[in-house]
């Protein structure tokens, strides 16, 4: 490389340049991964569910539903049910592009299941990472006073 008539140490410049490229590529990859995993806050999920723009699905167990109630308008679909996938496909009438949002207690199960469903070809799966009780992304459905059904 020539600049103002002086030759720079080519190998050192190349290594620095490659490190910079690797760093930028890594950051871009991280951004793409995060963009590929859309999340909704509990309040956003409530609003979209009420507007009929998503199907809100509570994936917890029946004992958890009894303990806290279920987000208003949510479908109850226990993720531990051996027929979970069949029941989900029935719910969305076989349309793997139907917009669905998953909620659990603290966001762990919904995050895991969101990734699994995407791997199975579901294209509009949203995670509610704060869950019912509060979790990795916020105070949760109950602490915000969002409506529940008993």
Instruction: State the alpha helices, DSSP H only, in 10-147.
Output: 10-35, 42-50, 62-68, 84-91, 108-119
Cα–Cα distance measured from residue 80 to residue 142, given in angstroms and rounded to the nearest whole number: 23
Per-residue pLDDT tens digits for 56-95: 999 999 999 999 999 999 999 999 999 999 999 999 999 9
The tokens 């723009």 sit on which residue? 53
Cα–Cα distance measured from residue 91 to residue 86, given in angstroms and rounded to the nearest whole number: 9
Backbone phi and psi for residue 26, each to the nearest 5 degrees, phi listed first: -65, -45
Q: Which residue has the higher pLDDT, 132 or 8?
A: 132
Per-residue pLDDT tens digits for 27-46: 443 333 344 568 999 999 99
Cα–Cα distance measured from residue 26 to residue 22, given in angstroms and rounded to the nearest whole number: 6
């Amino acid at each position: 490389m020539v600049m103002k008539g002086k030759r720079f140490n080519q190998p050192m410049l190349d290594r620095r340049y490659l490190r910079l490229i690797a760093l930028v590529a890594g950051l871009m990859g991280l951004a793409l991964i995060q963009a590929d995993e859309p999340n909704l806050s509990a309040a956003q999920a409530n609003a979209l569910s009420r507007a009929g723009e998503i199907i809100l699905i509570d994936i917890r167990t029946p004992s958890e539903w009894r303990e806290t109630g279920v987000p208003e308008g949510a479908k109850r679909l226990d993720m531990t049910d051996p027929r979970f996938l069949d029941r989900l496909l029935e719910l969305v009438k076989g349309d793997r592009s139907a917009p669905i949002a998953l909620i659990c207690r603290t966001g762990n199960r919904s995050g895991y299941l969101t990734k699994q469903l995407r791997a199975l070809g579901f294209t509009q799966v949203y995670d509610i990472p704060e869950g019912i009780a509060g979790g990795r992304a916020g105070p949760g459905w109950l602490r915000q006073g969002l409506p529940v059904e008993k």
